[in-house]
Every structure is written in structure tokens, then in C-alpha cells.
Structure 1
Amino acid sequence: MLEPVNIVIFGLVAFVVLPAPLNTVNVTGFVLVAVHLLIGGAYWAIKVRQLRARLPVPPMIAAFWWLRRLCETALVAGFVVLAVFAARGEVGLESVPGVLFYLMAVAEYVNYFHWQLSHQTSADLARLLRTRRVHRSHLYLDMRAHRS
């Protein structure tokens, strides 16, 4: 449930502590990672609700099929923005935070919608060490099991 908190922390570090300029590349990357973190936070909120209420299906899981397409489209659009600015020679050191945010957004997309990249619980870490491979993400498994 730390995803919304991470958005605030990332924004403060990038734009206040560093401070990175509010240019198109930095803002685009930040917005993309923020959107992915919000979607991930929403999934975990409905997953907690499902478990606490002992529901057979996570509430509103069908919305994540649409959100997945939205994320894919946003990542493609973000890549186009980065490519256009890079082609014009406008991506320099001041745009590194935006590029890093973009790469984080891609990683979050993969982590939520396809393969579990983050292993924050002891059970996740134990499974990773035992099997020595990444597994499908929890959201992916829920989406696959509860197609509507």
C-alpha cells in the first residue's frame, strides 16, 4: 500500500531535493510512473478487500483489462515523447530523472501486469530462491482467473 506514498517521495526527491527542471521529459516520466503506482495501489487495495471479505473474486478486477491497455498506450506515447525530444537534441543531463522515471514505469507495468519483479515479502523471496525464476504477477493471475 506504499505506492501512493512512493509517488510523493519520488516527486519530492526529483523536483525539490535535486531539483530536476519541470521539462516535458521529466514530467512525462513522472506522470507515467505515478499512474502505474496508482494502478498498482488500487489493485492491492481491492486484493486486501477480497481477502478480508473472503470474496471469491477481487472487486472490479475486470477494470484492470482496460487499465492494462491504457498503460500500454501511455507507455508508447511516453516513448514517442522521449524519442521526439531526443531527436531534437533536447534530452540531456537535466532530463535523466524523466528517462529514469519512464524506465521505472515500464518496470512497474511488467511487475503488475505480467511478471513479479519485486519481492517484498519473505514468502515471495523464499519462492524466488527456491525456484530460481520469476513468477507471474498476482494481478496477472487474478486477471487470468477471473476473465469476464
Structure 2
Amino acid sequence: MTLRRLLVTTATACVLLAGCGSPTGSPTAAVDPAPPAPSGPASAGPAVPPAVAVPWPARSAAESVGLQESVDDGAQPWLLDPAELARSYVAAAYGWDDATVTAGEGTIDVTGPDGTRRVLTVAQPGRAGEGGIWVVTADEAA
């Protein structure tokens, strides 16, 4: 596994685990170890839902604030880049480690290793522009 893949996989796992929140429901930016890797790539056909729900990685305003604060503190810089966000999302949702990403205006076209295409809608839930985190708000078959 390349260092880039390891970093993306670890960052994805951290965001997924951080998005679970604490027992009180407050956001957390704790870094936890990555979960075990899936035994094989997940099917990305339209009949199979993604393994994660959108909006992703923050499902609420409170989680967005928590992620923005962690990014402001230097953690998870990949949340500042919509293309890196898309790569992390499809790795978590479909097991695509080698996806091709093409950014558009508010959308990201992603092609999986088997040629399956998804169109992700992305947005900045809090701070707009440089320094604001991005989240995936929709995931559609292309």
C-alpha cells in the first residue's frame, strides 16, 4: 500500500469514527485506529447503497463545526480539498482505492477501478472559500 493510500485510508477512518460523536452527541476530533479493511471491493452498482450516508463526513451542523475546528487546528487537511474529499468518500463508501476524480462546479465525477461512475455533489457547510471544509451532500450514479 502506498503512503498516500495509507494516509487517505487512515484519514477516512478517523473522520468516520469522529463522525460517530461521543455519548453526549458532541462532535469529537479524536484520532482512532483504522478499522479492518474489507475483504474485497464493494459493488458500486446503483442497487447497492454506499457503506456511508450523506452528508459525509459531517452529518449535522454540530459535526461540521467540530470538523472545521479540527482542521483549523491542523488535523485532516484533506477536508479542504474537494477532490481529496471525493477520493476518501468513495474509498469509504465503495472500497475504491484507485478512483479517478474530475472536479466540476459543485460536483465531482468519480470513476471507480471497474469503470463505474458516480457524481458527487459537494458543499462547504460553514466557512466558504479557502480554509473551509467540504462535505459530500449527494451521491448519484452517472
TM-score (norm 1): 0.31
Give the helix-richer structure, 1 or 2: 1
Higher relative contact order, structure no. (Cα contacts within 8 Å, ≥ 6 residues apart): 1
Larger radius of gyration: 1
